[in-house]
Amino acid sequence: MGMDFSTLRTLISRYCAGEENCVDTRTVYIAHKEPPPGAEAFIQQRFPDNRIVSSKYTFWNFIPKNMFEQFRRVANFYFLIIFLVQLIIDTPTSPVTSGLPLFFVIIVTAIKQGYEDWLRHKADKAVNQCPVHVVQHGKVIRKQSRKLRVGDVVLVKEDEPFPCDLILLSSSRDDGTCYVTTASLDGESSHKTYHAVQDTKAYKTEEEINCIHATIDCEQPQPDLYKFRGNINIYMGNEPVSRSLASQNLLLRGATLKNTEYIYGVAIYTGMETKMALNYQSKSQKRSAVEKSMNAYLVVYLCILISKAVINTTLKYVWQADPNRDEPWYNEKTETERQRHILIRAFTDFLAFMVLFNYIIPVSMYVTVEMQKFLGSYFIMWDDEMFDEELGERAVVNTSDLNEELGQVEYVFTDKTGTLTENNMEFIECCVDGNVYVPHIICNGQVMPGAAGIDMIDTSPGPEAREHEELFFRALCLCHTVQVKEEETVDGIKHGIHQGKSSSFYISSSPDEVALVEGMKRLGFTYLRLKDGQMEILNREDEIERFELLEVLTFDSVRRRMSVIVRSSTGELYLFCKGADSSIFPRVVSGKVEQVKARVERNAVEGLRTLCVAYRRLSPEQYEQVCHLLTRAKLEFQDQDKLVAEAYDLIERDLVLLGATAVEDRLQEKAADTIESLHKAGMKVWVLTGDKMETAAATCYASKLFRRNTQILELTTKRLEEQSLHDVLFELSRTVLRHYGSMPRDSSGLSSEYTDYGLIIDGATLSAVMRPSQEDSNSGNYKEIFLEICRNCSAVLCCRMAPLQKAQIVKMIKASKEHPITLAIGDGANDVSMILEAHVGIGIMGKEGRQAVRNSDYAIPKFKHLKKMLLVHGHYYYIRISELVQYFFYKNVCFIFPQFLYQFFCGFSQQPLYDTAYLTLYNISFTSLPILLYSLMEQHINMDILKKEPTLYRDIAKNSLLTWPIFIYWTVLGVYDAIVMFFGAYFLFDNTTFTSNGQLMTTNTQMMFGNWTFGTLVFTVLVFTVTFKLALDTHYWTWINHFVIWGSLVFFVVFSLLWGGIIWPFLNYQRMYYVFMQMLSSGPAWLSIILLITAGLLPDVVKKVFWRSLWPSTTERIQNADKLYKGQLSEFTPLAALHPPPKASSHQRGSENQRNAPNPPRSDTPNKKVMFTRWRRMPDYCTFSPLLRFTDGSHHSRQGNAYSGAGPETSV
């Protein structure tokens, strides 16, 4: 009875007070077998099935949900209100005029979103109905994937994907391991090793698996792909055996089984609770600067609309103050109208005027912008120059909402490893106790061309150092997570490396590790395999040595090191540890530290990646303590990560330093040229990396981030040891601001007239700047001072950065007073935070996985493609959409302002000037296609010139084409054209008659020239004027442009002839019957149309001609030159002859005062010459490579390639 009460008490406490436990953990019964009697009672939780749902809508909720989402947009909601007003009150225009465009936009958007969701439903159905193998009652049965439940035991065979998240119970391999690729999750194609539970790995058949009696306690689903914690309780006797579970036991949905015949696993997360599904969550919505400008303009036009309605309502009642005007004989009021309160009548009239003028708000602009962005994004994906043959990848657009933002970037934040560099490691050398070894230069297992003459350099250590040398080589052969990939030959026999066959190679998730193991192979120690817990290596004497792998202390970015504990065949226990110098040196108690440290610093200055290697001998007692520490930490459910880290910290102590390695990560192709182009375009480039300062600085010089004449300002921990943060910041501020006080801030260091500053800061100092210590009462606002320093530096290098710090820096710059547009680019999971934080995030398809690509707005194969993406595509996108936005507002002002003027001539009676068909189709048909095509195809400057002339990017910086002065100009131009159209038509025909067949009209003149003829004449001039205006703005003509522009005018004429030439039976009235034909049959009408179109376009043409002649921008100068050479402008064109050459002295000074610098990295590219042509005396340069051979080339050329050394450091 006591047991029953105890059980009941446990159940009550868990159900009532243990809500937290229910939320944080889950208990899974393997094969749905409940624990034996007497075990702790569990409440069986309800888990979802394995159905994946990526769709947004269902058949039942599509219409209400989609309508709700669409009417959340302000413009759609506004037009819905206008439409309802037209239905409710007596308005001058038909509800069709507002309803048709609105419903057209709504229906098109709904069809697009519905089709996309149908594709998602289709994909979900294919996935959910995929067959899987499940073990039930000792037999394997097949069922659909969606029917899997938590607790099912699943059989997965080689090359099959895992249907849900599984805990690995056993595999076909004797050691209980399996190999997995996670390419669909994070893009890593390398084979990762996963381990079965120690006590279940021996169960190999369905019958044996069915005998397992166990439960799993684990955390609730989390989206982090690399973190998992839990315990498995196996009931073998009276007492259950408890084992810890970690991420190496968890097989994720989406991953694929490789090099393993089969595995058995138990489902713990299914359906939408799998880690892959939890990573489906959408990113936060980013809005471009153009969209913000568009919304601001919309508010202005809304105010104009309300003003027009108020003015007309007021003037109507002033006009009707005279009773004769209030009730003319032909329009007497009803009794109900006379008794209605004047305020109600006034409000009704106000709404009627709002309806009449509502077309000034362009609802179709939003759908046109959406189509332009969506269709325009394909130009990036179709660009063959952004296709990488090596990867077989093209650029990818994950969101098209930010296309124009690519043309507005002011700050570029880039990762170093894998972004600026190739992340393709090349083993250079290793140093053991001061003795240096250089093998054949190898790169991922292949001897590089030209390396045959470089042999091993051995400084011949004495016999006493021989042991240390071999221990170092063994450490690098054992301390890693490299796998040996063995491929079968034709006869089915597998050959290993030690047999001299080339059918085996190394694979790892880290390119560094492969390079190190390959390097050891060249130096005589070959890693063979890991088999049955035994690591095998082949030594110089061709003898196989075996070491039992006891523990792996995995690498993490906080510790920056990894370790293994092994037992040799003689029974000796070793702890081998490798990691960054900053994490190894403080833990070393003996060894030749100074010699190794000197070599590490020398290699770091050359831009090489360095790792230090150390070891420690363990006694059996010490090993027992280590096992106890690790076991206890891994079994703790709460704070498991913290306890494991503390255990690792206690174990990795009292090390003996063996030596160091040097690996080169070569600079990516054209990385230096890309950064130089971004600088010339006015962008500031920051490098944010986790590498040490010396390595990162060397890369920055090689990539031209820092130039020869760059003065380096340091804000590092080393500097803070000598001075306080307060003093360093203020002295740096004085140094920079004293010089920049009289210099333009945005010149980006292009001119050598003044000193160029570069800043280096590390992660620890950045933390101090962001969060000054509380006790420092005089700290002041460090962040503002730091920002001011950074803004006046042409380049900034942030080293030793944690991922969160990268995002903090981007956020800090975004929030600064200028609110600049930021772009972040990276290739690894550690770059995701800054990619999501920046206005535009770009992922590189590198070797550190695809997390950056998945979370980015755009993805490109290589860093060099960033140049074309920004300087060409970004430039075009911004030019196109800015014209689209301004043009839409312009043509709607032209459209609706004559309607406003017409009210002064019709007694403010709300009489429409245009026919209902014209009101409805103006924005939908007559004027929509030409501007859409313009916004997709316009190239105001040749693409090749944009690539050669980065400075042209400055002409569009800071949203310069959507500023208020330009917006006001377009609006005034629209008002002018409207006045010309209306009053031109009015005065030309005020005292004139239309002629018909050569005869003068007599009494019927006024009847024939009625309001519909007048309105049709104004509308005809309107359509032709706005279309010709766009044609005048078009620089890039193709047959499609001609077809759409002239075709839209032909369509208008044909429609008008049909609309007025046929009696349509579905119309209640035929007010347009024969109006258009009657108008065109008149000679004065033709003359008026031509004169009014010319008068409307003339001022804009004259303004452009004078403006280009007197104050041309750099863009306009290039356009003029390109027209002069009939589009054949190239690097051989003597453009410089059109303008006076620059002063020679400014370029001569740039090559003076060469400073001493460290040796360049081994992968430097040869120098090339770049020529500069200065337009007038502006600080902008138009750079072609080369434009022209000057007579005295020495005065007008300079070395334009990677600088061979570092600039001096400023002592502060």
Q: Which active-site residues does the annotation give?
A: 415
Q: Is 1160 exposed, middle or buried (0-12, 13-18, 19+ CB in 10 A)?
A: middle
Q: Rounded to 5 degrees, what are φ and ψ at 345?
A: -60, -40
Residue 935 near residue 372, CB atoms below 8 Å: yes
Biggest CA–CA distance in the chain, Å, is 126
Point out which residues pair with 431 in neighbouring strands.
436, 660
Q: Which residues pair with 231 in a beta bridge?
A: 217, 244
The one-character DSSP state at 749 is T
Compute the distance between CA of residue 43 and CA of residue 921 in angstroms, rounded to an integer. 65
- Rounded to whole angstroms, how far apart are CA atoms 621 and 681? 65
Sheet containing strand 165-171, edge to edge, reads 139-144, 131-136, 153-157, 262-269, 165-171, 250-251
Q: Whole-angstrom Cα distance, residue 1022 to residue 814?
A: 43
Angle at which helices 725-740 and 782-791 cross, to 10°: 40
Q: At 575, which helix (H) or strand (E)?
A: strand 573-579
User: 946, 970, 962: which is closest to 1114 by C-alpha?
Assistant: 946
Of 763, 798, 703, nearest to 582 (Cα)? 763
In degrees, to the nearest 5, what angle opens at C-alpha 879 toward C-alphas 1183 and 933? 125
**Residue 898 and residue 981 in contact, taking contact as beta carbons nearer than 8 Å:** yes
The number of beta carbons lying within 10 Å of the beta carbon of residue 374 is 14
Query: Number of helices (H) and strands (E), helices first, in the chain?
Result: 42, 41
Neighbours of 505 (CB within 10 A): 16
CA gap 844, 853 in Å, rounded:
6
- The answer to whether 346 touches 317, Cβ cutoff 8 Å, is yes
If we measure between CA atoms, which residue out of 906, 954, 876 comes closest to residue 677? Answer: 954
d(CA 235, CA 476): 41
Q: CA of 85: how far to CAs of 88, 299, 336, in Å?
A: 5, 20, 20
| Cα gap 1105→1090, rounded to integer Å | 22
CB 296 within 8 A of CB 966: no
Residue pair 273/47 in contact by the 8 Å Cβ criterion? yes
Does the N-terminal peptide bond of residue 1186 adopt cis geometry, omega within 30 degrees of 0?
yes
- Number of Cβ atoms within 10 Å of the Cβ of 773: 9
Q: Is 51 exposed, middle or buried (0-12, 13-18, 19+ CB in 10 A)?
A: middle
Tell me how far apart the alpha carbons of residues 713 and 732 are, in angstroms, rounded to a whole number.
7
- Phi, psi dihedral angles at 1013 (to 5 degrees): -65, -45
Place of tokens 């690098």: 476
Helix (H, G, I), strand (E, B) or coil at 414: strand
Distance CA 170, CA 807 (A): 41
Residues 656, 651: Cα–Cα separation, whole Å: 13
- Regarding beta strands 756-762 and 795-799, do their DSSP bridges make them parallel or antiparallel, or are they unpaired? parallel
The answer to whether residues 916 and 96 touch, using CB atoms and an 8 Å cutoff, is yes
Whole-number Å distance between alpha carbons of 690 and 806: 10
Separation CA 553–CA 573 (nearest Å): 15
